[in-house]
């Protein structure tokens, strides 16, 4: 078991995949608590489908080289739109539903028209992490650093605007401008995620680790740290397990994240019960 893992790590494509996964998990883990706090899980899903449509369209028209740009444009455009939708949950959800299904339909159409390798098609939906090359890793790392720097600068006002929007507005935080900044960060991360773990699993990295962390801590800093750790465990564990089993990465990442979530929920329930027990002796 150990030797086979070491052998795998000696391979270039495995190392590329792992580095890409680690970077992606850091971004997803840091953005996740804000996504959950802003109640944007559904718009992440919508953004992922539009990244899929953009990627599929670019593949059809310009070929494999353009997938990344197509996904990025699709994701950022729609994330901006979702970011501008305001806070009325019902209206937001229905608009997201409308755009999501339209994007999915477009994506399927583009894929049906595409006559090239079928691996290129399915990669966008279920991930093609073993196909990540050095160039991809470089792009991902550069984009990742940019997102991290922006996030470091806006983190406090963004947290304020996300979790306590009325008060933040009263204190002069530019709530609307920040929701646009957040939309761009989210769009970029989703576009990268779609190319690595696929559109179907982006939620699994952006939502599940953060939702799990929210079950066990109310500290915003600790929640971010835990979300990153959980995302890393899911991605790295998923890559290694999928290589070992010779199956796609998606089911493994999803399963590991889900198990982490279940464990955290159980811990959270225990914690709540203890607090109630202390409060009512």
Partner 1 sequence: MPWGPLRDLFVEVLLVTPSIRLTDAEVRRGGRTLWTGLDLDVEPGEFVAVLGPNGSGKTTLLTVLLGLLPLAVGTCEVAGRAPHRGSADVGYVPQQTSMDALTPLRGRDLVGLGLDGHRFGLPFRGRAERARKVREALLQVDALDLADAPVGALSGGEQQRLRIAQALVGDPGLLLADEPLHSLDLARQRAVVELLERRRREHGTAVVFVTHELNPVLPVTDRVLYLVDGRFRIGTPDEVMTSETLSELYRTDVDVVRVRDRIVVVGAEDRLVHTGGGPR
Instruction: Report phi then psi at 129, rounded to 5.
Output: -65, -30
Closest approach of partner 1 to the CB of residue 274, in Å: 12
Closest approach of partner 1 to the CB of residue 157, in Å: 6
Q: Which residues bind partner 1 (CB under 8 A)?
A: 33, 36-37, 39, 152-154, 156-157, 159-160, 163-164, 166-173, 213-215, 217-220, 223, 272, 275
Between 117 and 275, whose beta carbon lies closer to partner 1? Answer: 275
Closest approach of partner 1 to the CB of residue 66, in Å: 35
Nearest to 51 by CA among 35, 67, 30: 67
Residue 5 exposure: Cα atoms within 13 Å on the Cβ side: 8
84 CB-contact burial (10 Å; exposed 0-12 / middle 13-18 / buried 19+): exposed
Contact in structure between 167 and 160 (CB atoms under 8 Å): yes
Given the structure tokens 């953060």, which residue do they identify?
210
Closest approach of partner 1 to the CB of residue 160, in Å: 4
Between 111 and 215, whose beta carbon lies closer to partner 1? Answer: 215
Contact in structure between 185 and 151 (CB atoms under 8 Å): yes
Between 98 and 269, whose beta carbon lies closer to partner 1? Answer: 269
Between 117 and 176, whose beta carbon lies closer to partner 1? Answer: 176
Mapping DSSP to helix (H, G, I), strand (E, B) and coil, where does residue 166 land? Answer: helix
Closest approach of partner 1 to the CB of residue 225, in Å: 11
Closest approach of partner 1 to the CB of residue 207, in Å: 12
Between 130 and 169, whose beta carbon lies closer to partner 1? Answer: 169
Instruction: Report phi then psi at 87, rounded to 5.
Output: -105, 0
Residues 6+ apart with CB under 8 A from 115: none
**Taking the mean position of all CA atoms in its chain, how far away is CA 166?**
27
Between 16 and 217, whose beta carbon lies closer to partner 1? Answer: 217
Closest approach of partner 1 to the CB of residue 98, in Å: 26
Nearest to 10 by CA among 243, 252, 242: 243
Between 173 and 239, whose beta carbon lies closer to partner 1? Answer: 173
What is the three-state SS of 216-253?
Answer: HCCCHHHHHHHHHHHHHHHHHHHHHHHHHHCCCCHHHH
């Amino acid at each position: 078991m150990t030797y086979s893992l070491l052998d795998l790590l000696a391979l270039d494509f495995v190392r590329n995949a792992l580095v890409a996964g680690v970077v992606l998990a850091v971004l997803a883990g840091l953005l996740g608590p804000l996504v959950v706090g802003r109640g944007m899980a559904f718009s992440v899903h919508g953004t992922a489908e539009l990244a899929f449509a953009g990627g599929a369209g670019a593949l059809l028209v310009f070929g494999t080289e353009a997938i990344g740009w197509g996904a990025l444009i699709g994701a950022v455009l729609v994330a901006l739109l979702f970011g501008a939708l305001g806070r009325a949950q019902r209206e937001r959800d229905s608009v997201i539903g409308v755009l999501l299904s339209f994007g999915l339909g477009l994506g399927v159409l583009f894929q049906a028209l595409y006559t090239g390798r079928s691996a290129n098609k399915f990669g966008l939906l279920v991930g093609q992490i073993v196909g990540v090359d050095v160039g991809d890793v470089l792009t991902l790392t550069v984009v990742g650093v940019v997102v991290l720097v922006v996030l470091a600068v806006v983190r406090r006002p963004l947290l304020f605007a996300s979790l306590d929007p009325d008060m933040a507005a009263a204190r002069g935080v530019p709530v609307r401008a920040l929701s646009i900044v957040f939309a761009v960060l989210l769009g970029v991360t989703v576009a990268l995620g779609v190319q690595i773990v696929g559109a179907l699993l982006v939620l699994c990295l952006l939502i599940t680790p953060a939702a799990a962390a929210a079950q066990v801590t109310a500290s915003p800093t600790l929640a971010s740290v835990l979300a990153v750790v959980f995302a890393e465990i899911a991605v790295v564990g998923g890559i290694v397990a999928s290589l070992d089993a010779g199956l796609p990465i998606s089911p493994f990442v999803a399963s590991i994240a889900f198990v982490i979530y279940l464990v955290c929920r159980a811990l959270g329930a225990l914690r709540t019960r203890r607090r109630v027990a202390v409060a009512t002796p």
